[in-house]
Amino acid sequence: MLFEYALVFIGAAIPWLEIALVIPLGIIRGLSPFWVMVLAFIGNLITIFPVIIGFDKAKIWYEKRRVKKGKSMADRTKRGRKIWNKYGLPGLAMLGPIVTGTHLAVFIGMSLGAQKQWVVLWMTISIGIWTLIFGIGTIFGLDIFL
């Protein structure tokens, strides 16, 4: 059982799996909803710190890659920029986990000039709220079917 909780933690840390998939799967699997939500929250949250800390290097790498391939902004990046222009960092952070993914939302926010401490604050709030939404939603959703 400890292995399954470790998988929840690791799954939440992997971009594009994240909390939206891991929390419902863990709860449906029969794991404790409390521990699934706690581990998924921590797993997803700690992986944004390397993105924030290593942002400058990642931005240089991303720009070189984009120029080398001759590509314009990816669709997810365009969606992130639209959200940023309309709602700012709070909107990007709140919609990021379901629209672009947490890690890409952090990168987009940083590339658009957000300060690191504000990105950490808003992403923590966002991941916390989405953790509760996915966890409680799954619990109540399961109650409907049982």
Tokens of 17: 């799996």
**Domain boundaries, given as residue ranges, for the chain:** 2-145
Q: Cα 42 from chain centroid? A: 11
pLDDT-derived band at 33 (thresholds 50, 70, 90) equals: very high
Candidate from 43-52, 73-82, 93-102, 116-125 with smallest mean pLDDT: 73-82
The answer on pLDDT for 136 being more than 60 is yes
Q: Give pTM, 2 decimals.
A: 0.81
Q: Which of 115, 47, 104, 113 is nearest to 74 (CA)?
A: 104
Token pair belonging to 82: 């639209």
pLDDT digits (tens, 9 = 90+) for 39-82: 999 999 999 999 899 988 877 887 787 776 665 556 666 777 78
**Structure-token match 């987009």, residue found:** 108
Place of tokens 């909107």: 91
Measured CA distances, 47 to 55, 79, 81, 105 (Å): 13, 22, 22, 12
Q: Are 101 and 15 in contact (CB under 8 A)?
A: yes
HEC string of 79-124 equals HHHHHHHHHHHHHHHHHHHHHCCHHHHHHHHHHCCCCHHHHHHHHH
Cα 60 from chain centroid?
22
| Tokens read off for 92 | 């990007």
Across the chain, what does the average pLDDT equal?
Answer: 87
